[in-house]
């Protein structure tokens, strides 16, 4: 199946509850991206594009781990995957990785950023892509405000 990741290269031996070889995981076609609009700037810059195929643990494995000891999971509960970093420079999952711990600032519309600053806006965008379909999830934008 084209949307199933091959995360067997991790060297870990999967136990029965982490074996996802028989599962169809539509979410593995999920393509998140992040944009930053520096304070005072008109336009945003895409700083990373990744893919759920880059997850170290698949969604099925994370769900199994979450519930294995009896932790309840109900409709509407939110699961966070953590940082999704890919192998290429433009698919690293967080600003700390992208700037090598602040040592290599990013160029964003004529300004640079090693870390987010007051007034910066961050936008997350995601969609699932498959053979003949594209399902968008909209955007989520937040603005960095000064500490009180």
pTM of the shown model: 0.74
The C-alpha atoms of residue 124 and residue 138 are separated, in whole angstroms, by: 9
Question: For residue range 55-111, what is the model confidence (pLDDT) as tens digits?
Answer: 877 777 888 888 888 888 888 888 888 888 888 988 898 999 999 999 999 999 899
- Residue 28 predicted with pLDDT over 90: no
Hey, which residues does 140 pair with through a beta bridge? 124
The predicted model gives 35-59 an average pLDDT of 89
Q: Is 111 annotated as a binding residue?
A: no
pLDDT at 11 (0 to 100): 53
Mean pLDDT score across all residues of the chain? 82
The C-alpha atoms of residue 95 and residue 92 are separated, in whole angstroms, by: 8
For the chain, list the domains and their CATH numbers: 8-143 (3.90.850.10)
- Residue 23 predicted with pLDDT over 90: no
């Amino acid at each position: 199946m084209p949307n199933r990741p091959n995360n067997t290269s991790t060297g870990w031996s999967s136990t029965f509850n982490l074996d996802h070889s028989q599962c169809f995981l539509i979410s593995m076609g999920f393509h998140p991206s992040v944009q930053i609009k520096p304070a005072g700037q008109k336009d945003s810059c895409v700083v990373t594009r990744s893919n759920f195929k880059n997850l170290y643990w698949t969604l099925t494995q994370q769900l199994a781990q979450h519930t294995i000891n009896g932790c309840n999971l109900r409709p509407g509960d939110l699961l966070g995957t953590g940082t999704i970093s890919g192998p290429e420079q433009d698919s690293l999952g967080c600003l700390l990785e992208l700037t090598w711990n602040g040592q290599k600032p990013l160029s964003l519309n004529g300004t640079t950023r090693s870390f987010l600053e007051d007034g910066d806006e961050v936008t997350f965008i995601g969609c699932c892509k498959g053979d003949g379909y594209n399902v968008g999830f909209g955007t989520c934008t937040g603005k960095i405000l000064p500490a009180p």
